[in-house]
Structure formats: C-alpha cells, structure tokens
Amino acid sequence: MARDNKELDSLEYKYKKRRRMAVYKFLASALVLIVFFYLAWLLPRSLPRNLFSGLAGVTIVFLFFKVASILQNSWRIVKHGKSYPQYIYEIGNGLAFFENKDMKMCEEMAAIGYLLTNVTTLGFYKFERALPQECSYSVDISDIKYDAEEFSEYLKIFEGGGWEYICSSGSIHWFRGSKGAVPIYTDNASLALKYEKMRKLSLWCVISGILVAIAFFALSRIFPYPVSLMFLFAMGTGIGLALAMSVGVILNHRLIMRLKKLQNHH
C-alpha cells in the first residue's frame, strides 16, 4: 500500500520523539534507582531498608519498560523508515488514568493508515494497515462477556448509534465510529456509571498488588540476607501496581463525584 514521503516522515518523527522521551525517563529513573540502592545497603536491617528495597523494585520494573520502549522505537525507526509494516503494536497509557489519551492515539493511528484490531490484557494496542481515515474511538465497560448470548443484543445498542464493535479485553469493550459520531455516553448519569465500573476494576488491581507485595515480603522474612533483597525488590512490583492503580481509583472517584454534582445541578 503506497504512502507519500510526508506520511512516512510523520511516522518516523513520532517514533524518534517517543524514543527521546523514553531515554530521558530512563536516565532520571536510573538516578533514582542508584539512590534507592544506596539507601537500602546503607541502612541497617530494618523497616527503612525494606521500604527502599521495595521502592528499588518498583523503579527496576519502570526501567525495564523504558528500555523496552527505547529498543522498540529504535527498531521501528530502522524498519518503518522506508515502508509501512502490516501491523503496529502500541503500549497504552492506562485507561484508568488516560482514557482520552488512548482514544486520541487510536484516532491518530487511523489518520496515518492504521486501524485498531485488538487490545491485549497487558494493555498493548494492535493496529493493522489500512487506508487513512478520520474516525472516533470509545470504550465501554460491561459485565456481559463477549461470548455470552446476550452480547449480540448489547452490541446492537451501539450499532444503532453508529459504533462498530472492535474487540474486548475482559469486561472492557472497544468501539469505532465515524468522526464526530454521537458519544456512547450522552448524559452525566450514564457516564458516572461507566467510571464507577472503571473504579471497581482499578480497586481489584490495587488488592492484587497488595497481595503480591505481602507474599514476597513474607518470603523475604524466610530467606537470609542478601537473598531476601531479591524478594524485597519483587515486593516492589506489587507495591508499584497497588500505588499506580490507587491513583486510578482516586481519579475515577473524583470524576464520579464531579459528574454527580453536575447531574444534581440539572
């Protein structure tokens, strides 16, 4: 599928910008990690050492994703600089935090000739090469599973509003509509209900992160030092997940309160 040089340059610029930002975040995180490691080794075996070891684990996970982002975008610059691949995978920003940002990313990809086809459980967006087009994207959260009998009736509601079903990941469903299509949620009450479901999902992730952190902390108490440090770093993964999703819970709670307040005013 032919593309003009302007479109190719735009895609390459996008990847270079993302790689540059990933490098900046990697360097900043590496500095923070050095500080956490230093404090973990300097302090005596106590709660402060456990705390900084856990924080170091959180930073290591973040560094891993930044390295993956740097390598991924470097590979894209080399491979995609002269042609368009059939598929492109993008890492989501997190629906619990930046839903609008993810939807805008999908719209920008459609504009350069890539349509969303799937979203994985880990939040990777899969785009397939197509003709460039202007369209809108939206998500809905429903307890109705995509393989349930009533799911077809559920989809008809959205199809009637001009929204085409794309894919599902658990209870989250993605839709595509024409540019300027009527929003799936047109009133504050239904929108508040959506974010209540989003808050519940985030809360389950917080609980999961806490359970993971507790499990690795227990293991760190069983094994001798310095093996215990490995489990403390792993504990940081659970802490990082719980802290991150706690922000999602708070953000969604604030949105719900704001929408209910607007609803009461009307």
pLDDT, one tens digit per residue, over 90-103 is: 777 777 677 788 88
State pLDDT tens for residues 45-89: 666 666 676 677 677 777 777 787 777 777 766 665 555 677 887
| Rounded average pLDDT over 5-21 | 69
State pLDDT tens for residues 214-255: 888 888 777 776 667 677 777 777 777 777 777 777 777 777
Positions of E strands within the chain: 87-91, 114-119, 124-129, 135-141, 163-169, 172-178
Q: Is the pLDDT of residue 26 over 80?
A: yes
| Rounded average pLDDT over 122-136 | 85
